[in-house]
Structure 1
Amino acid sequence: MIAATEAISLLQTQLWVGFVVLLRVGATVALLPGFGEQSVPARIKLVLVVAFTLIIAPAVPQEPPAFTIENLMLLSMTETLSGGIIGLGVRLFILALQTAGAIAAQSTSLSQIMGGAAIEPLPAMGHVLTIGAVALAVMAGLHVKAAQLLIHSYVFLPMGLFLSPNDVADWGLSQIAYAFELAFLLATPFVIMSVLYNLALGVINKAMPQLMVAFVGAPLITLGGLFLLFLAAPIMLSVWLSALDQFMASPLEVRR
């Protein structure tokens, strides 16, 4: 009887630890690229959350407080918010890539081609870059990096504690600014090509007013945009993956 009582007590403790870890993992996985996409069925997401929890729970460096109603309510809020902060920080890199694709598509007059190919309405360039980035991140071990990030998160986001609102605001603003900076950096070749194209079009129109340069140049900018995407996509995805790895190594760093 004593052994059975100890076993039941140990099981209850492990279930409580698993539940607390599940709160943070669930909020993170819901926003994680590849795993938290709208196209992934809810049952698959639930299986992924449970799988991550089974991996992370034994490695958590701290024990949760004892099970009480007050601790349950507190941990439900703090752990969900902590997981949401981590997941949102990673998700911003996908939004940066989508923004870069939208800038590139607008610059090359390809913004309306296959705009509804994805669940979220994106230009074709943004859709291609997003799919390629998610595939590249998963092939590069996104699941392993995410598990390491969640385990390490208990060091800088302790269990049961709220972050300072000022710190969260500063971090959020810096991450959003960095996402737009990264988006413009990735789309720079297309912006430069667009400027050169419109400049050349203006010079030709000034020299030959009778020529309908817009109709002549439209196929050229389309072909040039597709060819530039073919050349620049590997470099863009490499830069994006490097930025994502830097974030996952130090997620709460305030970027200036």
Structure 2
Amino acid sequence: MDWTSLLCWAPVFALVLARVGATMALLPGLGESAAPAIVRIGLALSITILLLPVAQPLTPPVPDSGLAMALMVAGEVVTGLWFGWVARMIVLALPIGAQIIAYLIGLSNVLQPDAELGAQSTALGVLFELAAPMLILVSGLYVLPLQALAGLFTLIPPGHMLPGGDGAQVALQTVGTAFALALQLASPFVVASVVWNVAVGQIARVGGRMQIYFVAMPAQILGGLALLMLTGSTIILVWRDKAESVLGLLPGSP
């Protein structure tokens, strides 16, 4: 292959790499910040090379203006970030549900901030946040976003802007699905918390000046941890099944 052929492939390579690289920054499992940067860069380059034969016939002619080419690359970055964010939202449902559970069972307290976890984080939320990418990789769900990414080049060819209306609709649906799933995962704890707080309120009315909070709080934490032990595997299985169905319906999926 001579230099002329390589120059013909260069614009396509730049467009595909812009979309794939932006997607890899947010893709669940493969694009985690804990992964070494060299690994993510290598994955982005490998996927770009594999997708070049698919994207090359769909790429429009290279514009004469450098500004027009820069706008095309920027559009690819936006499309990649949008796709990666949509794929990540369903994965975030697991740590969001864990955050809700932690608040309900009393494992979060504004008087006890943790400098390492963050002011708005809980140990339970961080635990499930670390578990989510591991489950994605172990279960093989990372294949579904990659397949959808390959099909996305047919749905939105390189050099074309992301449709604003359709993109916003998909983003809103994904956010709604993620938060609904998070609440579904935490639903046993929501019910238990309502019943527990009603019971504690009734006891407080009967007990008079008794400091019921200091008596009820340890029991609330122990009961919540016991319920988490009983429902933990079910929570993960429900999340995995829903994540598989959502990732299998990403834009561009076969």
Instruction: Indicate the TM-score class for this superposition, using the shorter chain for normalisation.
Output: 0.7 to 0.9
Unmatched 5+ stretches in structure 1: 1-5
Q: Percent same amino acid among aligned pairs?
A: 31
RMSD: 2.7
Please give the secondary structure, in 2, of the residue aligned with 1:163. Answer: coil
- Measured in 2, the distance between the counterparts of 1:115 and 1:142 equals 32
In the TM superposition, what is the alpha-carbon distance from 1:59 to its structure 2 partner?
4.4
**Partner in structure 2 of residue 55 of structure 1:** 50
- Measured in 2, the distance between the counterparts of 1:12 and 1:187 equals 54
Please give the secondary structure, in 2, of the residue aligned with 1:197. Answer: helix
In the TM superposition, what is the alpha-carbon distance from 1:176 to its structure 2 partner?
1.8
Q: Does 1:141 align with 2:136?
A: no
The AA in structure 2 aligned to 1:225 is G
Kept in 1: contact 2:87–2:145 (CA 8 A): no
**Partner in structure 1 of residue 225 of structure 2:** 226
Moved more, 159-168 or 219-228: 159-168
Kept in 2: contact 1:107–1:190 (CA 8 A): yes
Please give the secondary structure, in 2, of the residue aligned with 1:84. Answer: helix
The AA in structure 2 aligned to 1:235 is T
- Measured in 1, the distance between the counterparts of 2:197 and 2:208 equals 15
Kept in 2: contact 1:104–1:190 (CA 8 A): yes
**Partner in structure 2 of residue 188 of structure 1:** 187
Unmatched 5+ stretches in structure 2: none
Q: Which one scores higher on RCO, CA 8 angstroms, separation ≥ 6?
A: 2
**Partner in structure 1 of residue 131 of structure 2:** 132
- Measured in 2, the distance between the counterparts of 1:93 and 1:246 equals 10
**Partner in structure 2 of residue 177 of structure 1:** 176
Q: Normalising to structure 2: TM-score of the pair? A: 0.84
Structure 1 counterpart of 2:99, from 89, 98, 102: 102
Residues 71-122 of structure 1: per-residue CA shift (max 9 Å, x gap): 6224302211211111010121233333212211111110147845547952
**Partner in structure 2 of residue 42 of structure 1:** 37
Task: Indicate how the Cα distance of structure 1 residues 116 and 91 shifts in structure 2: closer, same or farther if over 3 A, else same.
Answer: farther
Please give the secondary structure, in 1, of the residue aligned with 2:2. Answer: helix
**Partner in structure 1 of residue 166 of structure 2:** 167
**Partner in structure 2 of residue 21 of structure 1:** 16
**Partner in structure 2 of residue 11 of structure 1:** 6
- Measured in 2, the distance between the counterparts of 1:136 and 1:156 equals 29
In the TM superposition, what is the alpha-carbon distance from 1:153 to its structure 2 partner?
1.0
- Alignment: residue pair count: 248
